[in-house]
Amino acid sequence: GAGVSQTPSNKVTEKGKYVELRCDPISGHTALYWYRQSLGQGPEFLIYFQGTGAADDSGLPNDRFFAVRPEGSVSTLKIQRTERGDSAVYLCASSLTNGYNSPLHFGNGTRLTVT
Amino acid sequence: GQQVMQIPQYQHVQEGEDFTTYCNSSTTLSNIQWYKQRPGGHPVFLIQLVKSGEVKKQKRLTFQFGEAKKNSSLHITATQTTDVGTYFCAGPESGGSNYKLTFGKGTLLTVNP
């Protein structure tokens, strides 16, 4: 079956602009996560959705970052007033549940470059 | 906050040699997960260990979870070029649910054919 789909695969934007990154999880997966990966680092947790609600957004770096999942499936990560430090690969993952024995299935990520 | 450290950061081996990467957490973990990321790819789940002292094998890969549930290792026997990639360990935040994983920086394995 289809895996986690993320669009766009690459996004180049100018400092100060607004961007939206989209994630389409595996069908039937109730849990959805956003992680950010910088070069040479492991993925860093940003936010977790269970259904439509953001159950934990403690990893969002500041209030320029926001994410939604209005119908409990597709999610959009929104970044306002982008800064060069926001450049990274943004990974979306989904899992069947949020419990044990429910591993994360990652998408290919969106590589964001802020110039 | 919780820290997950991995060593070595890089490892280059000749095909056929063994490889081991070590993972250490600053806090006790309820479970530990291992992921593999091929160059240019995304992390792919390999395995989860839950019990103290647990050992699991997947073909040439052997995973161990320490008795104190603060460390883990991944050992690959007789590496192949298909083993190339970065291996990450990850554990849930102490006292937290399984969803919020803290990843190590990973060990990049390269294999010379």
Radius of gyration over every alpha carbon of chain B, rounded to an integer in angstroms:
13
Residue A97, pLDDT > 90, answer: no
Q: Which two tokens stand for residue B38?
A: 């091929």
> If you average pLDDT over every residue of chain B, what do you get?
94
CATH superfamily of B14-112: Immunoglobulins (2.60.40.10)
Task: Give the model's pLDDT for residue B52.
Answer: 96
Helix, strand, or coil (residue A85): helix
* Average pLDDT score over residue span A5-14: 98
Sign of the torsion angle spanned by Cα atoms A73, A26, B85, A12: negative
Q: Which residues of A touch B100 (CB under 8 A)?
A: 45, 48, 56, 58-59
A114 inside domain: no
* pLDDT per residue as tens digits for the range B31-80: 999 999 999 999 999 999 999 999 999 999 999 999 999 999 999 999 99
* pLDDT per residue as tens digits for the range A35-89: 999 999 999 999 999 988 888 999 999 999 999 999 989 999 999 999 999 999 9
Task: Give the model's pLDDT for residue B2.
Answer: 83
CA–CA distances in Å: residue A42 to residues A6, A30, A46, A64, A89? 19, 24, 13, 22, 11
CA–CA distances in Å: residue A100 to residues A15, A25, A41, B13, B50? 40, 19, 25, 34, 9
Task: Give the model's pLDDT for residue B96.
Answer: 63
How many domains is chain A partitioned into structurally?
Answer: 1
Comparing C-alpha atoms, which of B72, B105, B99, B91 is closest to residue B31?
B91
Which amino acid does the sequence have at B56?
Answer: K
Q: Which residues of A touch B48 (CB under 8 A)?
A: 100-101, 103
> If you average pLDDT over every residue of chain A, what do you get?
94
Residue B75: alpha-carbon gap to chain centroid:
9
Look at the block and give the residue holding tokens 């919780």. Answer: B2
For A73, the domain range is 5-98
A106 inside domain: no
Task: Give the model's pLDDT for residue A48.
Answer: 94
Task: Give the model's pLDDT for residue B94.
Answer: 65
Q: How confident is the model at residue B95 (pLDDT cuts 50, 70, 90)?
A: low
Residue A18, pLDDT > 90, answer: yes
Q: Which of B87, B98, B99 to mutate to test the interface with A (most CBs of A within 10 A)?
A: B99
Which residue from A minimizes the CA distance to B31? Answer: A100
A48 inside domain: yes
A59 inside domain: yes
- Nearest C-alpha of chain B: how many angstroms from A72? 17
* Average pLDDT score over residue span B2-17: 96
CATH number for the domain spanning A64: value is 2.60.40.10
